Structure formats: structure tokens, C-alpha cells
A and B are shown apart, each in its own frame.
Chain A
Amino acid sequence: DADVTQTPRNRITKTGKRIMLECSQTKGHDRMYWYRQDPGLGLRLIYYSFDVKDINKGEISDGYSVSRQAQAKFSLSLESAIPNQTALYFCATSDGSQETQYFGPGTRLLVL
């Protein structure tokens, strides 16, 4: 079984709708991250969390919110989706004692 899972894997929604992307991990890591990737570009950090009570904005947090429900779960919400939020979204985890990150398979989001 995958250590970092994301649901849904694909989502089509309409402008103005609220949607939630979910991430779960079985690695026991404290740190979790949400990134977005646009075609042909690298990843940009949206939000990150170093433990259940810690939430931090990343480079591009406007239009997004997150919830860290438990150590293993980190959700990303788009309160009112807009077309330029069409992208590939990745969740990642890391252990505070290591610097590497472990990525989920991604959620492909299309906002019409």
C-alpha cells in the first residue's frame, strides 16, 4: 500500500464551487505539505504543517485553506474554485529528522 495517498485522483469542478482535496499518510511523519504544479513548471508550495497545531502559508496560499485533522491527515480546500486553479496538486510528508520529502501520486484538478 502507498505510504502517501491522495483523494480524489482526478476532479472536475465548476467555477465558484468549494472542493476539498485530502491527503493521508502512514509514514508517521509530523510534517506535511501541499504543492501545486502547473504544466511544464516546478512545484510551488501552498501550505505546510509541522504538527497538528501548526499551519503555515507557503508561496501561493491565496484562494486556498488547509486543515490538519490528525497527524496523518492534511486537507486542502478551495473555497471558491476559479479556472486558474486548474493544476496538479501534490501532498508530501517529511520526518523532522530528515530533509527529504515523500510525495503522494497527485490530484489532477480541472476548474471549468
Chain B
Amino acid sequence: SQQGEEDPQALSIQEGENATMNCSYKTSINNLQWYRQNSGRGLVHLILIRSNEREKHSGRLRVTLDTSKKSSSLLITASRAADTASYFCATDKAAGNKLTFGGGTRVLVKP
């Protein structure tokens, strides 16, 4: 079973719009990470947020974490065609241990 469940499963937006995706998980965590996967390639790490953090930014990415609701969101602002990919959340129960991935959100950014 997967720790994280992502919503929506797919998202289609116009270039320049914002994309928001959500991740819910079941057990307490040490940190939550977001990864991007382009068309069947390897995953690339985007951002990590620790359980004692509520919000984190990296470039056009904004991640929030609500441990009381066991949920996280990833916002991509001013999306570009190159942001077209699948995005996965992954939870780590113990720092540096092992990750449990969600099912992913497929994002299509139309030019």
C-alpha cells in the first residue's frame, strides 16, 4: 500500500497559469519530498519539507505541510510547457531511511 495519495491524478492548464496538487499520507513522518518525472525517465528531487516546517519555497515552487491533517500541497506558479511531467510526493518516516511514494499527479501545460 502507498503512504501518499495524490490529488488530482491529472491536471491540464495553460502556460502561465498556476498548478496545484495535493498529497495526503497516513502515518507520522520526518519529512515529505516532492519529485518530478518526465515521461518514463528517472525521478528528480524538487523540494523537501520537514515535519516541523509549514511552508517552503524554491524558485517557482511552493510547498506547504499540514501535519495535523497529514497533507501537503505543491504549487507551481507561472507554469511553462517544460513543467509538463508527473509529480510525486514521497514521505520519509525516519530521516534518511526509505521513501514511500504516492501515485503521482500528471501535469500537462499547454502552450
Chain A positions within 8 Å of B, measured between CB atoms, are: 4, 31, 33, 35, 40-45, 48, 58-59, 88, 90, 92, 94, 96-106, 108
Kindly state the interface size class of chain B when it binds its partner. 20 to 34
Which residues of B are found within 8 Å of A102, using beta-carbon distances?
45
A90 touches B92 (CB 8 A): no
Q: How far is the CA of A99 from the CA of B43 in the complex (A)?
A: 15
Interface string of B41-82 (1 = CB under 8 A from A): 111110010000000000000000000000000000000000
Whether A100 pairs with B45 at a CB distance below 8 angstroms is yes
* Cβ-closest chain B residue relative to A90: B42
B31: chain A residues at CB < 8 Å are 99
Q: B41 contacts which of A41, A45, A92, A105 (Cβ < 8 Å)? A: A105
The total number of A-B Cβ pairs within 8 Å is: 58
Smallest beta-carbon distance B6→chain A, Å: 8
Contact yes or no, B45 A101, CB < 8 A? yes
B43 A88 Cβ-Cβ under 8 A: no
A-B CB proximity, top 7 nearest = A103-B42, A42-B101, A43-B101, A100-B45, A103-B43, A42-B103, A105-B42
Contacting residues of chain B (90-109) with chain A, CB-CB under 8 angstroms: 92, 95-96, 98-104
List 23 A-B pairs, Cβ < 8 Å.
Answer: A31-B96, A35-B101, A40-B104, A41-B104, A42-B4, A42-B88, A43-B43, A44-B2, A44-B101, A45-B98, A45-B99, A88-B40, A92-B43, A94-B96, A97-B96, A99-B33, A99-B95, A100-B45, A101-B99, A103-B44, A105-B41, A106-B42, A108-B40
Residues of B within 8 A of A104 (CB): 42
| CB-based nearest A residue for B30 | A99
